[in-house]
Structure formats: C-alpha cells, structure tokens
A and B are shown apart, each in its own frame.
Chain A
C-alpha cells in the first residue's frame, strides 16, 4: 500500500460534500496529512499462546525481515509495536508472545521499523505562465511512530507570490498572480538504500493558495471556503461567495482605479459567468440594471480582479455588483506554447491541461 494522503487541505462548505474548497490562505500552514502503511494484513491472535500473526493480503514483500525486527501493527481496534519471531516467506509475520487486544481475524496494516531513516519526500509544483508545472520546492518529513506524518507546503507557495500590482484596469477580469497561486504535489517514501517512485501528478485537478491571512475562530479556519463560488447544476442552490474586500461596502471614487477581487474558482471552468450590476439613487431606488458582462473564462482558477461599470452619473449613489452563471458551456481559447505558428490558440471546453514538469519522471493522473 505504501504512502497515502489521508487528509487534504480542503474543507466542505456548509458541510456539503458537493462544495469542496481547495483554496487556502498561504500565510498559515497548508497541511497534507499522510499515512504510511507498508503492507495490508489480516491479523490473527491466539489468546492462549499469545501468538500474534499478520498475513499480508495484497502486494509482495520488498523487505528482508529477520527475527528481532520491530513491527508496528495496527487494526481499527488496537495497535502496538512488536518483535518479529518468525518470518514465513512470502507473507507471514509471527510475533510471540504478545499482548494484543484488537481481536482475531481482523484487517489492518503493518509497518516495518527495520526501514531505517524512513522519510516522506514531497515535491511541490507551482504553475508557470506557460501553464506548465514548475518545481518550487521539496520537503522531507519523518512520520511519527504510527506512520502518520504531515507536510506543510505554505512556505513554498509564499515564495512564488509576488507583491507587485500589475493590473492595468483595462479588461473586465484578469487573474492576479500576486494574490494567489495554483499548486500541486507529488510524494514518495524513502528509507536507507531505497528511493521510492513519486505518486501521480494530476494534469487537471489543482489546489490553490491565496495571499490572505485568516483569524482565529474564522469560519473554515485557514481555508477560504467562504470566498469560493460554486456551481453544480441549474437546480442545486449554492452558498454565495464573498468578495475579497475588507470593506463591508467599499467606496468608488470616480476617476480613480477600482476593482473587486474574487476567487474565480475551478467550479466555473468551461461555463459562462457574468458580472451583474445595478445602480441606485440616493434613496436606494434602483435606477438602472447594467447589461450583464461575460467574464473571460480563461482567467479562471486564480484570484481575479473585476472591474465594475464606471459610468456613474451624479444621480447614482451606490451600486450592487455580483456574479451569476447560467451553466452554459463557454469554450476558452488558450494561447498554447510550443507551436510553430505565432499566436496559435487552442479552444478548450473544460479544465485546461497543465503541461507536466520539464524533466519528466512523474507519472500523471
């Protein structure tokens, strides 16, 4: 079985599994919890002889166990570290005498503590301007005695976030790489004289860090779930995502640059999303509903800047701005690098494909 991620840095919004936010604040820990399970086993225990037997159910033993080796055994009911008495080739571990309270005929897993200097190696990838994975860091972490370990990728993401505001206020919406970044990870297990292969790297499913700082007792902790817009289908109501503003009601000063920041989430890839705006007079009466403007879907999967309709006559004293989607497909023309023809674009109707990292060596999903 090897190494698996048992908990990702994501949260279900409104406790609904349909609404999963993979957007996290990079100024806090962004933690993947991993678990090492060397071999899945069936566990048998004789209470009279106190012999504990673990029989591997799946996989081939790649280690060379010898009597005296320490074996960590875990089932859903009990766990402990035991000394190997006999190894029955190819898949039987006999430990005696032992005190085991987890019952007999139960499934579980064993970890061989004879794997010296075991550690998890995690590669963290950002995505460059050519929509290609780029290695931004590598983390080495040792799991605890039960085989559980954590990997925090936030420090790597902070390194690729810039602080130079380059938005030119000339398009309806544009991604802003100073405000967040997509990323992904691969991981492998390693020990003395063994270097394991890396896990697969998805070419479409990403995670994101946002250059934000959450506070204690904030809803969803360091996750940005409150700010992530969702879309499932035309019939499923979704929670309303918040804009990334510290004003409850920001002020627009005519003649000066202004934008709203929002998370253009992966849920909106490949479908039409519109900016809506309604202007009001000093008494709060509606004056005009601005024609909805379709967002550039090619800017999705990043934090975006959004322009409002600036044309405010002196009788307009406030406006409401929000986003809507009709779920209608919106194929996007991406400029695809590597083609001989200058300006070649490729129309994509769905999740854009991220190019694998140069150098290869990573299986893709």
Chain B
C-alpha cells in the first residue's frame, strides 16, 4: 500500500561548467539541492585593521611611515542564472535558508571515502541578505542572482 505522495524528480543531463553545488536546510525540515554553473564571479574583499604611524628612528633605513596590524579578508561568489518559474519555490527556499552548504569536492566526492566510497565535503556558506524576485506573472524564466559569502580567509596578524 502506498503511504507517501509520488515525488516527481526531474533529471538534468546537461553538462555543467564550473559547477557550484549547494545543499540547504529547507523550512520543511529536509535538505534540498541545486547546481549553479557558468555564471560565477569570485571576489575578495579586504579591510585593513589598525592602521598606525611608525615611529621612525632612522630615515635612511626606514621602510615605511605607516603600517597595519593585519587584514580582514572575505571571499564571495556571485552566482545566478535563468531559472524556470516552476523551480522558484525551491530557489526561494535556498535564498531564505539560514543553513546553506557548498560541495567542496564535486569531482571526487563519490570516491573520497576511506574505502573508496562517497564522502562529500561540505562547507558552510551564507547567502547574502537582500531581495529576490520569486514570481513574475506571464514569465516562464526568472533571472536569479545571489552572493555566497564564504568563510573568512585567515591571514597573519601582528
């Protein structure tokens, strides 16, 4: 006897360049997935920490008049693409999810396990807050753009 709905799963056979595969905790209490590809911009954003003026004793050997104690570094990836309107329910879930992870070993996850089995490696990312159009009447495709905030990059600090 059937006890659940019949869940339709679409199969996307298209080859994907530069894949960014995300999973997220959806609001129903399960995990969802989506593969973004091609349209990525990876950025680094830096911020100087504690700029100070150096006390110069010897002008002849001094290498600078000022310096910083370190830098804050944050990488982000702008992702997006044209989404079918019928997929926007899930993409909305991605945009609204507080817990999103990115697959870090997309090419090798199926064999990275200790016995050659699957071992996906996920890294937590944050979808930058903002607004996302989730419905336009009479339109079958929607342009989606999101920014993934990646974990901070550690650098040397004085």
Contacts and interface: CB of A to CB of B under 8 A. Distances in A.
A229 B29 contact: no
A238 B26 contact: no
A204 to B, nearest CB: 21
B145 interface: no
A312 B11 contact: yes
Contacts of A238: 1, 3
Contact of B4 (A169, A213, A241): A241
Size category, A interface: 35 or more
Given A251-B9, A316-B11, A246 B117 contact: no
Nearest to A239: B3
Given A244-B29, A253-B16, A308 B9 contact: yes
A296 interface: no
Nearest to A234: B1
Interface in A126-176: 163, 165, 167-170
Nearest to B90: A247
Interface in B2-39: 2-13, 16, 19, 21, 23, 25-35
Contact of A319 (B9, B25, B26): B9
Size category, B interface: 35 or more
A218 to B, nearest CB: 10
Nearest to B5: A240
A283 to B, nearest CB: 14
B120 interface: yes
A195 interface: no
Contact of A245 (B28, B35, B101): B28
A165 B27 CA distance: 15
Given A168-B119, A247-B32, A318-B10, A212 B3 contact: no
Contacts of A312: 11, 13
B103 interface: yes
Nearest to A268: B3
B89 interface: yes
A318 B7 contact: no
Given A231-B1, A256-B35, A303-B29, A243 B7 contact: yes
Given A249-B10, A254-B13, A262 B28 contact: no
Interface of A: 25, 163, 165, 167-170, 178-180, 210-213, 215, 224, 227, 229-231, 234, 237-238, 240-262, 268, 273, 276, 303, 305, 308, 312, 314, 316-327
Q: Sorted from nearest, which 3 A-B pairs have the closest CB atoms?
A: A261-B30, A244-B30, A212-B29
